[in-house]
A and B are shown apart, each in its own frame.
Chain A
Amino acid sequence: MTDTEALRATPLRALHQELGGRLVDFAGWELPVQYEGVIAEHTWCRSSAALFDVSHMGVVELRPGAGSGGVAAVAEALEAVTPAAVTSLEPGRQRYALLTTDEGGIIDDLMVTNRGDHLVAVVNASRRDVDLAHLRERLGATGVEVIERTDVALLALQGPRAVDALARLVPTAAGLVFMDHVIVADGATLPNGTVTGPLGVARSGYTGEDGFELTVAADRADALARALLAQPEVRPAGLGARDTLRLEAGLPLYGHDIDLITSPIEADLAWSIPKRRRDDGRFPGAARIRAELADGPSRRRVGLSVEGRRPVRDGAALRTVDGAPAGTVTSGGYGPTVEAPVAMGYVPAALAGEGQILIADVRGTDVSVCVSPLPFTPHRYVRGAK
């Protein structure tokens, strides 16, 4: 980003400033990295409920063209660009999916929701332009309309008490289970008795905690955020805490833990490719992905617990105790809930077993790390019987 390009502001920018948020450039967006402090916000999210502004993420509607086969045709078209199952995604449900390259790398990871008559994909801020171009190119011939929504804001309310806070404003929220999505016509009831109007409510998030992701008209976002922050359970949290929360939860971050080179299998995301898709192989990169499913990948994304207190960060080289190269750290830092440094990285498959000791080079200092199961903190999603 050059200084001639202005940072983009979300509808909550004034609120962030008012709350004392420390605004930084994140993927071209002016967003708070923290308010009172990363550790306090992280800990509050794990114990109560934290409100994050995630409006920098891209909201992409995928709508059936006139005279086409409706949402089923859109789902079928989307399966041509992802190895996830989309045609089996029921209305009111959402699912994690990867856009893959023809070589089996990852263009982006996204959340796909079936909204009944169309699909919505929520994509990473840093990838929205790439994703839009890719979707338009690959889906153009199918008649699917690819529409970027820039008139909405996205809020994430995360933590074990998020449901208590949100249900006071949107009673319907309490009835949802993990990965459910509903559009509430009246939306949230505000303290002055008015309503926000249509609100997308999904029981999902990227912290490992129970929680919700809310889609609201940009001009109602400030009022909704203030109403949520008025609930005793809720405090604001910035991108710093969002990163430490997702790291402890073992969730990959695009551009760090997954990218155009890493495959879904190397990234330990094979769970997002169900049997039907493995069998049909009608997705980009199928040759590499199916070969890695059959024979195992040459390297794997693993968790790394760190000996001592010194954080091991993105980019640190790994080697065996005998000095042989053993991969690279792709995410790392202090885990406030674990109360110790934690990291993720790619290691050769032969060294990916739990308990494997490796050495990380932290700016010239050797730090001992141990391959560990992910997540570092257990996921606490509220799953239904479905």
Chain B
Amino acid sequence: MLTPTELRYSQDHEWVRVDGNRARIGITDFAQDALGDVVYLDLPAVGTAIGAGDKIGEVESTKTVSEIYAPVAGKIVEVNPDLVDAPERVNADPYGEGWICVIELSSEFDPSDLMDASSYIQMTEA
């Protein structure tokens, strides 16, 4: 299971990659493996303002439906258009081509709000 050390992680199995005032998010390798084959994503609309912890979408596998929560507060400024026709990218490359959306942060990012890789690994192994 991959858990890149340069990312931060939420309790809800999202990863966050912060670059300036923008945060790219997706679901973790652990999450995609637990879900199984992803067949559909309900993605947020660009322009939506969201609070940390808000539900922003759904990810569906062959067997189950799971909610996606915003790990940080801000505004959705980009969604991954390729997931409409190729949802399986979430399985194949969860930290790369399977990214879900980009959030413009409403306040300065505080890394201590989220877990580092070792804490996330600890949580998933518990």
Binding site for B on A (CB under 8 A): 33-34, 37-40, 240, 244, 309-311, 313, 333-334, 336, 341, 363, 365
Instruction: Judge whether B36 and A310 touch: CB under 8 Å.
Output: no
Choose from A240, A309, A310, A363 the contact partner of B62 (Cβ within 8 Å): A240
Q: B37 at the A/B interface (Cβ < 8 Å)?
A: yes
**Which residues 35-82 of B have a CB within 8 angstroms of A?**
36-37, 39-40, 42, 58, 60-63, 65
CA distance A91 to B7 in the complex (A): 66
Binding site for A on B (CB under 8 A): 36-37, 39-40, 42, 58, 60-63, 65, 84, 87, 91
Collect the chain B residues with CB atoms within 8 Å of residue A40's CB.
37
Collect the chain A residues with CB atoms within 8 Å of residue B61's CB.
38
Cross-chain pairs A/B with CB under 8 angstroms, 16 sampled: A33-B36, A33-B63, A34-B36, A37-B36, A37-B37, A38-B61, A38-B62, A39-B62, A40-B37, A240-B36, A309-B39, A313-B65, A334-B39, A334-B60, A334-B62, A341-B39
Choose from A240, A244, A334, A336 the contact partner of B40 (Cβ within 8 Å): A334
CA distance A311 to B37 in the complex (A): 13
Nearest-neighbour CB distance to chain B for A21, whole angstroms, equals 13
Nearest-neighbour CB distance to chain B for A365, whole angstroms, equals 8
CA distance A33 to B62 in the complex (A): 11
Collect the chain A residues with CB atoms within 8 Å of residue B42's CB.
310, 365
Collect the chain B residues with CB atoms within 8 Å of residue A240's CB.
36, 62-63
Choose from B60, B62, B65 the contact partner of A244 (Cβ within 8 Å): B62
Instruction: Judge whether A39 and B63 touch: CB under 8 Å.
Output: no
Collect the chain B residues with CB atoms within 8 Å of residue A365's CB.
42
- Closest Cβ neighbor of A34 among chain B residues: B36
Collect the chain B residues with CB atoms within 8 Å of residue A363's CB.
58, 65
CA distance A313 to B91 in the complex (A): 21
CA distance A201 to B113 in the complex (A): 60
Given contacts A39-B37, A334-B39, contact A311 B60 (CB under 8 A): yes
Instruction: Judge whether A309 and B63 touch: CB under 8 Å.
Output: no
Nearest-neighbour CB distance to chain B for A91, whole angstroms, equals 40
Instruction: Judge whether A38 and B63 touch: CB under 8 Å.
Output: yes
CA distance A38 to B91 in the complex (A): 13
Instruction: Judge whether A311 and B36 touch: CB under 8 Å.
Output: no
Nearest-neighbour CB distance to chain A for B62, whole angstroms, equals 4
Nearest-neighbour CB distance to chain A for B9, whole angstroms, equals 23
Collect the chain B residues with CB atoms within 8 Å of residue A311's CB.
39-40, 60
CA distance A363 to B42 in the complex (A): 12
Collect the chain B residues with CB atoms within 8 Å of residue A39's CB.
37, 39, 62
Instruction: Judge whether B36 and A309 touch: CB under 8 Å.
Output: no
Collect the chain B residues with CB atoms within 8 Å of residue A313's CB.
65
Collect the chain B residues with CB atoms within 8 Å of residue A38's CB.
36-37, 61-63
Point out which of A33, A37, A313 has the most chain B C-beta atoms below 10 A from its C-beta.
A37
Instruction: Judge whether B40 and A309 touch: CB under 8 Å.
Output: yes
Known: A33-B63, A38-B62, A311-B60. 14 other contacts (CB 8 A): A37-B36, A37-B37, A37-B91, A39-B62, A240-B63, A244-B62, A309-B84, A311-B39, A334-B37, A334-B62, A336-B62, A341-B39, A363-B65, A365-B42
- Closest Cβ neighbor of A336 among chain B residues: B62
